[in-house]
Chain A
């Protein structure tokens, strides 16, 4: 059954529609990109891992620095 927002919760297969939408459709080009880094020609495992490291490191530093900034706001104003 297609998981529509209007469907009752019990009719959904496992999770809500957002999970299918974001991880099934929107991020599909990213999966393809990462797969091509390792499986395409020419490819190099070390450079592929460098790319994955950038993806993971930037995500962490983005949210980490945002967390620090919000904690500074908390300390100064709340």
Chain B
């Protein structure tokens, strides 16, 4: 469930990883996460609400992040997400897995 909701141009599971990585920088709201993903990836990763928010809910369900309401920079109510201990662990292991996968893909691509 949920895996199919990711943008088609991302590898499965990658969005969750990117969100976790982004939250490692500190507390952020959904819009901030989307912004960060866009700028940090030089506009390559454009995540719409229809995939970002389900991903956040998935992380909430798994207990990797927790959410709190707070005031935003323009004084509106916004929901801020924080990485939990479980989330940090998950990030580490997913990151490792991802690196392994990327290395494998590159290895395949390198063969002529």
Our verdict on whether A and B bind, yes or no, reads no
